[in-house]
Amino acid sequence: MLFRRREEESRWERLRVHLWPRRNWKRSSRYVVYRVRRLSATPHAVALGFAAGVFSAITPFLGAHMLMSALIAWAIGGSIVAALLGTFVGNPLTYPFFWYITYVAGNLMLGSGSGEHKIDLSDGIFQASLDQLWPILKPMSLGAIPVGLAGAALSYVLVKPTVEAYQHRRRELGVRPRGEVLDAR
């Protein structure tokens, strides 16, 4: 194969690259921004899809973010590809912040203040039953709704003009989107 590695990457290396980029965070985030701007859908659809991805990334349901974002984007008429790219807002650096904010917001919505009840996960989170996890998941799930909507609204406001400007500039330069056929007259 032409672009294959000489030595196959180990599972540990692939996992490390998923959690921490090879080059740096700036380059990886620029790549995601570049991919969102290059989508050929309307700016409104791209922004809606990206907002759906941001909303789902703020929820505490790890492992379901991509499926959730794709379903939300499909339901509201957004770009599914942009929704999948929007889930990258949730990463190991932002998850602790999202989880704390959603937990606090959920406790405020439930009226339990600062969440003074004792939560003991010393046996490990994967060995804990749902009865032990529910005091954490309930406020986080509830708090994810307003926090996720705020994050989605902010991302929509930021992404739509960016995509509009990029697509306008490409039209001015005469670069056609992929799949557009030249007029043969």
- pTM over cut 0.95: no
Least confident of 8-17, 57-66, 80-89, 153-162: 8-17
For 33-64, b where at least 16 C-beta lie within 10 A, e where not — what string?
A: eeebbebebbbbbbbbbbbbbbbbbbbbeeee
Q: Which residue has the higher pLDDT, 167 or 58?
A: 58
**Span 113-157, pLDDT tens digits:** 655 556 665 666 666 666 777 888 889 999 999 999 999 999 999
pLDDT of residue 163: 87
The token duo for 63 is: 């492992």
- On whether the CB atoms of residues 90 and 51 are closer than 8 A, the answer is no
Average pLDDT, the chain: 82
